[in-house]
Amino acid sequence: MKITITKNEAEFNVAAAWRIIAQMLQKPNAVIGLSTGQTTIEMHSIVSDIFRQYPFDVSRITIFNVDELTNLPREYSGSCYTMILNQLVKPLNIRDENFLMPPTMSDNFENEAKLFEQRLSERGGVDLQMLGIGLNGHIGINQPGTPFESETWVSPMDPDFEAKVRRETLVSGETVLGGLTRGIKNIMHTRKIVLVAKGAHKAEIIEKAVLGPIVTDIPASVLQLHPDCEVLVDADAGTRIKGKLSN
């Protein structure tokens, strides 16, 4: 596991953006997994800015998000589809057929999960996965306690996040919300993983994920076993691991 601690948030955002661009330039038909949230918004903006100034060929690049909310309209501003569409797919002119996302509404999410993985497999598997990390150590929407051998499935949401979504969408309390997420086993089969985090509020969970025991209570801790994983954090998020583990 490689550890990169940047000097500040601005340097972090640029470094993370270049991890995505480098993969696109290195392999013109790369399959790239993204993550949504406050950590990734600015890095996606930088990717778009660089592409606008210095266009390069993305005609064969495939993009997807590691997870997607379920039982909500795709048009909801908080859906992963909408966020990735607006943050990267449109700015980079990614072809519709190369933007792979499961639906947010379905009568058979189990089948949708299998189809999602099948579509990724048909393109040769995933070359790069940019991963965020939750305060409880979740990756994708694989919450604490998720078995490491889990395959793509529909996971319950974090209660606080679910409450936020319900406030924003006014969805009925009878509607079961969740997230179709790549399973931990599927994530671990990615060729290269970059775990990203910024802010002092992420320092404790980064320490546990990187230096703590490998346990299902901290799903991100399994990344210690991945053969090509980089942990990329800003100075604040890296406070508790700086000096404890060399690159």
Return the half-sphere exposure (C-beta side, CA atoms, 13 A cut-off) of residue 235.
Answer: 5
Domains and CATH numbers, the chain: 2-233 (3.40.50.1360)
pLDDT in tens, 185-234: 999 999 999 999 999 999 999 999 999 999 999 999 999 999 999 999 99
pTM confidence score: 0.95
Length of the chain (residues): 247
Mean pLDDT, rounded, for 161-173 = 85
Tokens linked to 92: 């980079």
pLDDT in tens, 45-100: 999 999 999 999 999 999 999 999 999 999 998 899 999 999 999 999 999 999 99
Residue 25 backbone dihedrals phi, psi, to 5 degrees: -75, -35
Contact of 234 with 14, CB cutoff 8 Å:
no
pLDDT in tens, 125-140: 999 999 999 999 999 9
For residues 136 and 173, give the distance between their C-alpha atoms in angstroms, rounded to a whole number. Answer: 24
